[in-house]
Amino acid sequence: MTYKAGALTRLSYRGTPLLAPGKLYVPFLHDNSKARRIGRSTVEFRQLGRTNEKISTIGMGAWRIGSYRSSDEREGQVRALRRGIELGINHIDTAEMYASGRSEEVVGEAIKDVRKDVFIASKVAPGNLHHDDVAKSCRASLRRLQTSYIDLYQVHWPDPNVPIKETMSAMEELVDEGAIRYIGVSNFSVKETEDARAALSKNEIVSNQVEYSLANRYAESEILPFCAREKVTLIAYSPLARGNISHSIPKAILQKYQLTPAQAMLNWVTRHEQVVAIPKSVDVGHLEENAASVSVRFDAAEYEEISAA
Ligand SMILES: NC(=O)c1ccc[n+]([C@@H]2O[C@H](COP(=O)([O-])OP(=O)(O)OC[C@H]3O[C@@H](n4cnc5c(N)ncnc54)[C@H](OP(=O)(O)O)[C@@H]3O)[C@@H](O)[C@H]2O)c1
């Protein structure tokens, strides 16, 4: 499989272009053994909430990105994010809390010359949900991300001590100013999501980011059915169970679809149309693997078999 370098010819790292215009590229070139194992490279996109926005079903999480012991390690993190973008992943998830803002700085460096090709999601920390603090946090995030707008700005965790109306009015002002495009929440129950929706006067809650994986299926009881019914995107965090890759997915299914266990976990977690996942990786091989995890779909019986494994 090949693709022609188009808009992504602007991608470069430290002055070295990654793709040349018009040239045909074979994805996953750097490791042929993995290329055979991964096989396919189709990146899939899904609608964000009820909007017309398309975000990649497999995004990139940036928790722990920004924690580094050397400049080499930092450069490796930038390189990994850029490889993900080059593969077609457009959704990058970060937060002001991650590595005390350094995650946003690394993301900012990775996207600075391809800003329009990516969808940046960040989060305001639970301690900053009063009206003026939301705006202050957003401006600091914009500076670290080196951008004039955040695509999706999420409330990281609910804070019962701050009226949601106060937080949401600040969020709507940020939309009016063009500092953010969409409003989302994270770690909100159905009731909290409904309260946040009701507190908005002219915008919608487009997403709720919650933990969801083969190892943690709590979201299936209420949040997933609510999101499916109301067309709110469920952004699955820790979709690889924080690196505890399952050993119990039936081998016959993995072999049939030529998937690794990690790919099968990402495939499984995104089986509902309303779900996208944001695995974190700073390993280029893992990123390539993750990007290629949803080009096939298990049948219903296989999903059940994996769920029960
Ligand atoms: N909203 C919230 O409260 C919240 C909470 C937690 C996380 N999050 C978001 O969700 C993102 C992902 O969650 P997470 O970082 O907790 O865990 P995760 O994505 O489930 O797992 C990450 C771990 O899996 C490894 N990994 C990635 N791809 C792999 C592959 N193909 N094969 C084997 N191992 C692989 C990574 O190592 P390598 O880097 O070496 O590949 C890393 O150790 C975060 O980065 C963050 O953006 C949000």
Query: pLDDT tens for residues 6-59?
Result: 344 444 444 444 444 433 333 333 333 333 333 345 789 999 999 999 999 999
Contact partners, residue 76, CB within 8 Å, separation at least 6? 282
Long-range pairs for 75-78 at CB < 8 Å and ≥24 separation? 75/14, 76/282, 77/106, 77/110, 77/282, 78/13, 78/106, 78/109, 78/110
98 is catalytic: yes
Measured in Å, residue 138 CA sits from the centre of ligand 1 at 24
213 CA: nearest ligand 1 atom: 20
Distance from residue 277's CA to the centre of ligand 1 (Å): 10
Of 31, 37, 237, best ligand 1 pocket probe by most atoms within 8 Å of the beta carbon: 237
Among 13, 98, 153, 237, which one carries the catalytic annotation? 98
Average model confidence (pLDDT) for the chain? 89
Q: What is the pLDDT of residue 6?
A: 38
Distance 289 CA to ligand 1 centre (A): 13
**DSSP secondary structure letter of residue 213:** B
Longest dimension (CA), the chain: 56
pTM beyond 0.85: yes
Span 208-223, mean pLDDT? 98
How far, in whole angstroms, is CA 187 from its chain's centroid? 15
Higher-confidence residue of 31 and 166: namely 166
- How far is the CA of 141 from the CAs of 32, 102, 106, 129, 244, in angstroms? 39, 10, 12, 14, 31
CB-ligand 1 contact for 83 (6 Å cutoff): no
At 294, the pLDDT band (50, 70, 90 cuts) reads very high
Q: Report whether residue 209 contacts ligand 1, using a CB cutoff of 6 Å.
A: yes
CB-based contact 11:110 (threshold 8 Å)? no
Find out whether the beta carbon of 104 lies less than 6 Å from any atom of ligand 1.
no
Mean per-residue pLDDT for 153-182? 98
CATH superfamily, domain at 45-308: NADP-dependent oxidoreductase domain (3.20.20.100)
Domain map (residue ranges) of the chain? 45-308
Please give the distance, rounded to the nearest whole angstrom, from the Cα atom of residue 272 to the centre of ligand 1: 20
Predicted pLDDT at 309: 86
Residue 109 tokens read as 């460096």
* Ligand 1 atom with minimal separation from the 280 CA: 19
Q: Is ligand 1 within 6 A of the CB of residue 84?
A: no
Ligand 1 close to Cβ of residue 243 (< 6 A): yes
* CA distance linking residue 239 with residue 175, whole number of Å: 29
Compute the average pLDDT of residues 234-249. 97
Closest residue by Cα to residue 207 from 287, 226, 215, 133:
226
pLDDT attached to residue 85? 96
Number of the ligand 1 atom closest to the C-alpha atom of 237? 10
Rounded distance from Cα 171 to ligand 1 centre (Å): 27
For Cα atoms 257, 287, 260, give the angle at the middle one, nearest 5 degrees.
25
Place of tokens 């695509």: 151
pLDDT tens for residues 53-104?
Answer: 999 999 999 999 999 999 999 999 999 999 999 999 999 999 999 999 999 9
Helix extents (H) in the chain: 32-38, 71-86, 102-111, 131-145, 164-177, 190-199, 223-230, 251-257, 261-269, 284-291, 300-308
Residue 164: C-alpha distances to residues 230, 245, 270 (Å): 20, 37, 29
Of 293 and 12, which is predicted with more confidence?
Answer: 293
pLDDT of the residue at 41: 53
